[in-house]
Amino acid sequence: MAAMFRADDLSVQFGGIRAVDSVSFEVRAGEVFSIIGPNGAGKTTIFNLISRIYQPTSGKLMLDGRDITSVPAYQVAGLGIARTFQNIELFQNASVLQNLLIGCHCHVKAGILSQICFLPSAKRDELVHRERAEDVIAFLGLQRYRHTLIGSLPYGVRKVVELGRALCTEPKLLLLDEPSSGLNVEETEGMGYWIEDIKQDLGITVIMVEHDMSLVSAVSDRVLALNYGRVMALGTPREVQTHPDVVRAYIGGEA
């Protein structure tokens, strides 16, 4: 299988701390790739590097063979990378539908002036995006929350809306940052089924940062274990979970 996304020798340094230290990995098209590791290992930092919110101090990021290391943050969505955030970053004062519609932003074709004058091209865009957002609503079962403001929604639903908003960008690569944090057992299982559906029905490649090992084992094809910003192990879930370094990092070994 061809590598769809590749990180080569990726490093980022904040002051004196190397948050990510020479990390290299490859993600194949259509797979679910998980990144695990103790808190502070640099997992979310890698996501922020891929979304181009942070600048790497060295290393390269390649998407479908194209170097995206210095692409500005707002162009990432247009390239096909979408993400969810660890501490839900939804737009609080807007409804679920409006949040999803913002997700469609990178596919807007009408120019600014035609939007200001609401020319037919702008209207057409709006209707197309509305249909797309409705498809995502149907996929995730959010119909009854369509016009509710985010502020009034329970936490579990907000996580799903965040996922929906990412799906509206029609990504090739979806970055999920701790999708199960804050969810109970049933909600986590539900999240697992959605990730499977995303992989199989929508054919989207997923990179997932997770702490919940049952979820990781259930949906992942391959796992990367990080510690102190460095790669500890890379392989199938079973291989990584039994790797001696990983065991030592999580459970501790003899002194």
Partner 1 sequence: MRYLFKTSYSQDLTIWRHNGDLFWYGLLAAVMFVLPFVLGTFYIGELGAVFIFAIAGVGLMLLTGYTGLVNLGHAAFLGIGAYTEAVLLTAGWPFIVTLPMSGILAAIAGIAIGIPTLRMSGLYLAIATLAFGQIVATVLEKWDSVTHGFDGMPVPIPSIFGVQIQGATGVYYAALVVLVFSLWVACNILRTPLGRALVAIRDSEISAQSMGINLALYKTISFAVAAFLTGLAGALFAHYVNFLAPDSFDILLSIQFLTIVFVGGIGSLHGVIFGALFVRLLPQAIAIARDYLPSKLAHLPGLEPSVFGLILVLVILFEPAGIYGRWLKTKEYFQAFPMHRRSAFRRQRTYTRSERV
Partner 2 sequence: MADAARLLQLIINGAASGCIYGIIALGFVLIYKATELVNFAQGDIMMLGGFTAFSLITWFGLNYWVGAILAVLITAGFGFLLDVIVIRRVMGQPQFAVVMLTLGLGFIFRAAAGIIWGYDSVGYVTPFTNKTVKIGGLILGADSLSVLGGTVLLCIVLYLFFSHTRLGIAMQAASQNQLAAYYMGIPVRTVFSLIWAIAAGVSAVAAILLTPISMIDVNMGFLGIKAFAAAVLGGFGSIPGALVGGVIIGIAEQLAGFYLPAGFQDVTSNVVLLGTLILLPQGLFAEKMVKRV
Dihedral sign computed on CA atoms, order 241, 59, 82, 203: negative
- Minimum CB separation of residue 242 from partner 2 in Å reads 33
The single residue among 65, 72, 87, 116 that binds partner 2, judged by CB under 8 A, is 87
Nearer to partner 2 by Cβ, of 44 and 188: the residue is 44
The listed partner (partner 1, partner 2, none) that binds 29, CB under 5 to 8 Å by sort, is none
Asked if residue 139 binds partner 2 (CB under 8 A), the reply is no
The listed partner (partner 2, partner 1, none) that binds 17, CB under 5 to 8 Å by sort, is none
Asked if residue 57 binds partner 2 (CB under 8 A), the reply is no
Asked if residue 181 binds partner 2 (CB under 8 A), the reply is no
Contacts of 118 (CB under 8 A, 6+ apart): none
Asked if residue 6 binds partner 1 (CB under 8 A), the reply is no
Nearer to partner 1 by Cβ, of 106 and 223: the residue is 106
- Minimum CB separation of residue 232 from partner 1 in Å reads 28
- What DSSP string describes 39-104? TTSSHHHHHHHHTTSS--SEEEEEETTEE-TT--GGGHHHHTEEE--SS----TTSBHHHHHHHHG
x-or-dash string of contact with partner 2, 31-50, rule CB under 8 A: -------------x---x--
Q: What angle do CA 47, 52, 53 make, to 5 degrees?
A: 85
